[in-house]
Chain A
Amino acid sequence: MRLDRWALMGLIQLSWADSNLTERSRDILPSTFKPPQHFRNVNLVRKINLEKSYPRETINVVIENIDAAPQSEYYLPFEQGTLGRVGGLVVKDKKDPDNIGFHAEIVEIDPYGATEYYKITLPTALPSKQQQTLSLTYWTLAALSPVPFQIGQQDKQYIRYPFSAYAPSAYTTLKQKTKLKLPSTDVPDATSLPKELNADGKADPEKQGTSYTYGPYNEVPAGAVQEVSVRYEFTHPLTHGSLLERDISVSHWGNNLATEERHWLTNRAAVLKNHFSRVTYAQSAYYNPPTSALKEMRFPLTVGSVDAYFVDDIGNVSTSRFRSNLREANLELRPRYPLFGGWNYKFQVGWNGDLKNFVRRVKGTGETYVLKAPFFEGPKQIEGVEYERIVTRVILPEGAT
Chain B
Amino acid sequence: MAAATTEKTTTGFFFEGETGRNTRGLLRLIILCTIAAAAIASRLFSVIRFESIIHEFDPWFNFRATKYLVQHGFYPFWNWFDDRTWHPLGRVTGGTLYPGLMVTSGVIWKLLRFLTLPVDIRDICVFMAPAFSGLTAFASYLFTSEMSDSPSAGLLAAIFMGIAPGYISRSVAGSYDNEAIAIFLLVFTFYLWIKAVKEGSIMWGALTALFYGYMVSAWGGYVFITNLLPLHAFVLICMGRFSPRLYVSYTTWYALGTLASMQIPFVGFLPIRSSDHMAALGVFGLIQLVGFAEYVRAQMPSKQFQTLLRAMVLVVFALAFGFLVLLTVSGTIAPWSGRFYSLWDTGYAKIHIPIIASVSEHQPTAWPAFFFDLNMLIWLFPAGVYMCFRSLKDEQVFVVIYAVLASYFAGVMVRLMLTLTPVVCVAAAMALSQILDTFLVASTPDEGDANKKPQANGTPAGANGSVDIKQQFANLADGLRSTKAPLVGIYSYLSKSMITGAITAYLLLFVLHCTWVTSNAYSSPSVVLASRLPDGSQHIIDDYREAYYWLRQNTAPNAKVMSWWDYGYQIGGMADRPTLVDNNTWNNTHIATVGKAMSSREEVSYPIMRQHEVDYVLVVFGALLGYSGDDINKFLWMVRIAEGIWPDEVKERDYFTSRGEYRVDDEATPTMRNSLMYKMSYYKYNDLFPAGQAQDRVRGSRLPAAGPELSTLEEAFTSENWIIRIYKVKDLDNLGRSHQEAVAFEKGNKRKKGGAGKRRGPRVLRVD
**Residues of A bordering B, CB below 8 Å:** 274-279, 282, 312-319, 336-337, 342-346
Minimum CB–CB distance for B290 against chain A, Å: 57
705-741 of chain B: CB within 8 A of chain A: 714-720, 722, 728
Q: Are B546 and A282 in contact (CB under 8 A)?
A: no
Question: Inside 8 A of A342's CB, which chain B residues have their CB?
Answer: 554
**Docked CA distance A275–B51 (Å):** 32
**Docked CA distance A315–B50 (Å):** 10
Set A315, A317, A344: member contacting B553, Cβ < 8 A: A344
How many A-B pairs have beta carbons closer than 8 Å: the answer is 63
Q: Are B716 and A312 in contact (CB under 8 A)?
A: no
Question: Inside 8 A of A316's CB, which chain B residues have their CB?
Answer: 50-51, 53
Minimum CB–CB distance for B139 against chain A, Å: 32
Q: What are 6 A-B contacts defined by CB distance under 8 Å?
A: A278-B719, A315-B52, A318-B542, A336-B542, A337-B549, A344-B554
Set A275, A282, A312: member contacting B688, Cβ < 8 A: A282
B666 at the interface (CB under 8 A from A): no
Set A274, A275, A319: member contacting B717, Cβ < 8 A: A275
Question: Inside 8 A of A318's CB, which chain B residues have their CB?
Answer: 528, 540, 542
Q: Are A276 and B718 in contact (CB under 8 A)?
A: yes
Question: Inside 8 A of A345's CB, which chain B residues have their CB?
Answer: 553
Set B540, B573, B687: member contacting A279, Cβ < 8 A: B687
Question: Inside 8 A of B728's CB, which chain A residues have their CB?
Answer: 275
> Do most interface residues of chain A lie in helix, strand or loop, or is the interface mixed?
loop
Q: Are A279 and B542 in contact (CB under 8 A)?
A: no
**Docked CA distance A3–B374 (Å):** 59
Minimum CB–CB distance for B116 against chain A, Å: 10
B574 at the interface (CB under 8 A from A): yes
**Docked CA distance A313–B553 (Å):** 10
Q: Are B715 and A277 in contact (CB under 8 A)?
A: yes
Interface hub of A277, A282, A318 (most chain B Cβ within 10 A): A318
User: Would A315 and B717 be within 8 Å (CB), given that A277-B684, A336-B546, A337-B550 are in contact?
Assistant: no
Q: Are A337 and B722 in contact (CB under 8 A)?
A: no
The residue in chain B whose Cβ has the minimal distance to the Cβ of A398 is B116
Q: Are A313 and B552 in contact (CB under 8 A)?
A: yes
Interface hub of B528, B552, B553, B722 (most chain A Cβ within 10 A): B553
Q: Are B574 and A278 in contact (CB under 8 A)?
A: no
Q: Are B553 and A278 in contact (CB under 8 A)?
A: no
Q: Given A274-B714, A279-B684, A313-B549, 20 other A-B contacts at CB below 8 A?
A: A275-B715, A275-B716, A277-B684, A278-B717, A278-B718, A278-B720, A279-B688, A314-B549, A314-B573, A314-B574, A315-B52, A315-B53, A316-B50, A316-B51, A318-B528, A318-B540, A336-B549, A336-B550, A337-B720, A346-B553
Q: Are A314 and B554 in contact (CB under 8 A)?
A: no
Interface hub of A275, A313, A314, A346 (most chain B Cβ within 10 A): A314
**Docked CA distance A277–B684 (Å):** 9
**Docked CA distance A180–B2 (Å):** 89
**Docked CA distance A276–B715 (Å):** 7
**Docked CA distance A275–B540 (Å):** 26
Q: Are A276 and B548 in contact (CB under 8 A)?
A: no
Minimum CB–CB distance for A219 against chain B, Å: 52
Question: Inside 8 A of A279's CB, which chain B residues have their CB?
Answer: 684, 687-688
Q: Are A314 and B548 in contact (CB under 8 A)?
A: yes
User: Would A314 and B545 be within 8 Å (CB), given that A275-B728, A278-B722, A343-B554 are in contact?
Assistant: yes
Minimum CB–CB distance for B527 against chain A, Å: 8
Q: Are A276 and B545 in contact (CB under 8 A)?
A: no
**Docked CA distance A279–B728 (Å):** 17
The residue in chain A whose Cβ has the minimal distance to the Cβ of B716 is A275
Question: Inside 8 A of B553's CB, which chain A residues have their CB?
Answer: 343-346
Interface hub of B53, B540, B718, B728 (most chain A Cβ within 10 A): B718
Question: Inside 8 A of B687's CB, which chain A residues have their CB?
Answer: 279
Question: Inside 8 A of B714's CB, which chain A residues have their CB?
Answer: 274-275
Minimum CB–CB distance for B173 against chain A, Å: 14
**Docked CA distance A374–B550 (Å):** 32
Question: Inside 8 A of A278's CB, which chain B residues have their CB?
Answer: 715, 717-720, 722
Minimum CB–CB distance for A173 against chain B, Å: 46
Minimum CB–CB distance for A383 against chain B, Å: 21
**Docked CA distance A331–B10 (Å):** 62
Minimum CB–CB distance for A323 against chain B, Å: 16
Minimum CB–CB distance for A168 against chain B, Å: 37
**Docked CA distance A279–B687 (Å):** 7
**Docked CA distance A282–B550 (Å):** 17
**Docked CA distance A342–B555 (Å):** 11
Question: Inside 8 A of A276's CB, which chain B residues have their CB?
Answer: 715-718
Set B51, B546, B715: member contacting A337, Cβ < 8 A: B546
Interface hub of B540, B574, B720 (most chain A Cβ within 10 A): B720
Question: Inside 8 A of A315's CB, which chain B residues have their CB?
Answer: 51-53, 545
The residue in chain A whose Cβ has the minimal distance to the Cβ of B550 is A337
Minimum CB–CB distance for A249 against chain B, Å: 13
The residue in chain B whose Cβ has the minimal distance to the Cβ of A317 is B542
The residue in chain A whose Cβ has the minimal distance to the Cβ of B570 is A314
Minimum CB–CB distance for B617 against chain A, Å: 13
Minimum CB–CB distance for B727 against chain A, Å: 9
67-96 of chain B: CB within 8 A of chain A: none
**Docked CA distance A318–B573 (Å):** 20
Minimum CB–CB distance for B575 against chain A, Å: 9
Question: Inside 8 A of B720's CB, which chain A residues have their CB?
Answer: 278, 337
**Docked CA distance A274–B549 (Å):** 20
Question: Inside 8 A of A336's CB, which chain B residues have their CB?
Answer: 542, 545-546, 549-550
Minimum CB–CB distance for B50 against chain A, Å: 8
**Docked CA distance A317–B550 (Å):** 13
The residue in chain B whose Cβ has the minimal distance to the Cβ of A314 is B574
**Docked CA distance A76–B164 (Å):** 76
310-341 of chain B: CB within 8 A of chain A: none
**Docked CA distance A274–B628 (Å):** 30
Question: Inside 8 A of A346's CB, which chain B residues have their CB?
Answer: 553
Contact with A along B569-598 (1 / 0, CB 8 A): 000011000000000000000000000000
Minimum CB–CB distance for A296 against chain B, Å: 14
**Docked CA distance A229–B691 (Å):** 47
Question: Inside 8 A of A277's CB, which chain B residues have their CB?
Answer: 684, 715, 718
Question: Inside 8 A of B573's CB, which chain A residues have their CB?
Answer: 314
**Docked CA distance A314–B570 (Å):** 11
**Docked CA distance A278–B723 (Å):** 12
Contact with A along B524-564 (1 / 0, CB 8 A): 00001000000000001010011011101110000000000
**Docked CA distance A235–B201 (Å):** 80
Question: Inside 8 A of B528's CB, which chain A residues have their CB?
Answer: 318
Minimum CB–CB distance for A393 against chain B, Å: 16
Question: Inside 8 A of B53's CB, which chain A residues have their CB?
Answer: 315-316
Q: Are B549 and A312 in contact (CB under 8 A)?
A: yes
Q: Are A337 and B717 in contact (CB under 8 A)?
A: yes
477-536 of chain B: CB within 8 A of chain A: 528
**Docked CA distance A337–B50 (Å):** 20
650-703 of chain B: CB within 8 A of chain A: 684, 687-688
**Docked CA distance A315–B52 (Å):** 8
**Docked CA distance A116–B714 (Å):** 47
Minimum CB–CB distance for A397 against chain B, Å: 14
The residue in chain A whose Cβ has the minimal distance to the Cβ of B684 is A279
Question: Inside 8 A of B550's CB, which chain A residues have their CB?
Answer: 336-337, 343
Question: Inside 8 A of B549's CB, which chain A residues have their CB?
Answer: 312-314, 336-337
